Structure 1
Amino acid sequence: MDILKTAQDWAKAEMFSTTFFIIAGVLFVGASIGFWQLGKTDLARAYIIPVAVAGALLLTIGFGLFFTNKSRVTQFEKAYNQDASAFVQSELTRAESTLKEYKNIVFTAIPLIIAACALVIMFVNAPGWRASMITTMAMLIVILLIDGTAHARIDYYNKQLMSAEKQE
């Protein structure tokens, strides 16, 4: 098994996946502009800032992850050629840490925040609060969708790393 190719393929798949954060961010910013230009009701006008902020956050996440993973593709080869065993160990540590973060943040905290937002929507009728909570829920759902596939990829990558470690 060529663990370097596996690592590079994983990073390239992550780069592709992060473009969906960028696309979602652009859509959110576009929706904010639409609410700004076409919004007539108080609720429609209340969406302008929360949707713009969510779009900016998604764009920041997308570009940050894209450029991080882009640099990893070249760094992987250098690190692997220097010391293959140390490369596998460091990647294994990073992958396991990332899997724990997914468990705690993506699959525990985000659903709890979505539930809290839903409760606020049920009990608060102010347009600003409703728009903010609905926007937060929409943004977090986008993150869950994208990170769900990223979790599956890093889990597979982690298993490949464990297999490579055993072969050494």
Structure 2
Amino acid sequence: MDILKTSTDWAKAELWSNGFFALFGVMFVLASLLFWLRGETDMARAFVLPMFVAGVLMLILGGGLFYGTWKSLAGFAPAFAEGRAGFVASEIERVDRTMAQYGTAVFAVMPLMIAAAALLIIFIHGPVWRSALITAIVFLSLIMLIDSKANARLEAYKKALILEVSGRSLN
């Protein structure tokens, strides 16, 4: 098995996935613009700022992740050239760190934040607060969706790395 190709394929899939953050960011900004231009009720106008902020945050997140993944992808070949075993070991360590971060942020903290926002909607009746809470729920849900797919790809990538260490092939 060519572990460098496997790593490169994983990174390219991550680049594709990171593009979804930017896509959703653009969609949030466009929704904000439409609420600003076409909103006729207080509730519709209340969505302008939360949607814009969520869109900008998604764009920043997508750009940062894209840059980080691109930088990793560019570093794969030189790291692999230094030594196959060292490359695989460092990748397994990086994957473990990333999966631990997903475990905390994406699968523990974000669901709690979504639940808290949903509960607050019941008790807070102002349109600005409600629109901010609804936007937060959508924003966090999208991050969880994208990151859960990224976590699944990481798990498959880690299996390939472990198979490489054990000397077996996926084929």
TM-score by length of 1: 0.96
Q: Give the Å deviation of 1:65.
A: 1.0
Quote how far apart the aligned CAs of 1:67 are.
Answer: 1.8
CA–CA separation in structure 1 for the residues paired with 2:99 and 2:33? 36
Question: 1:153 Cα shift?
Answer: 0.2
Per the alignment, residue 155 of structure 1 pairs with 155
Match of 2:123 in 1: 123
Q: Which amino acid aligns with 1:25?
A: G
The whole-number CA distance in structure 1 between the counterparts of 2:104 and 2:67 is: 24
- Offset from partner CA, 1:56-109 (integer Å, 9 cap, x none): 011111111112112222210110001211111111001011111111111111
Query: Post-superposition shift, 1:145?
Result: 1.2
Q: Per-residue displacement from partner, 1:125-158 (whole Å, max 9, x unpaired)?
A: 0111100000000001111111111010001111
- In 2, the alpha carbon distance for the partners of 1:12 and 1:3 equals 14
What TM-score does the superposition give when structure 2 sets the normalisation length? Answer: 0.95
CA distance in 1, matches of 2:114, 2:71: 33
CA RMSD of aligned residues (A): 1.1
Would you identify which runs of 4 or more consecutive aligned residues in structure 1 move more than 4 Å? none
Structure 1 Cα separation of the partners of residues 139 and 74 of structure 2: 31
CA distance in 1 between counterparts of 2:34 and 2:59 reads 18
State how far apart, in whole Å, the 1-side matches of 2:101 and 2:71 are.
22
- Indicate whether 1:67 and 2:71 are aligned: no
Give the C-alpha shift of residue 14 in structure 1.
Answer: 0.2
Helix, strand or coil at the partner of 2:125: coil
Give the counterpart letter for 1:3 in structure 2: I
Partner of 1:54: 54
Runs (5+) with no aligned partner, structure 2: none
Structure 1 residue 167: deviation in Å? Answer: 2.2
Aligned to 2:167: 167
Rounded Cα–Cα distance in structure 2 between residues aligned with 1:155 and 1:47: 37
Identify the residue that residue 87 of structure 1 maps to in structure 2. 87
Shift of 1:12: 0.2
Q: Secondary structure at the match of 1:40?
A: coil
Q: Which amino acid aligns with 1:68?
A: G
Question: How many residue pairs are counted as aligned between the two chains?
Answer: 168
Q: Give distance in 2, aligned partners of 1:85 and 1:3.
A: 10
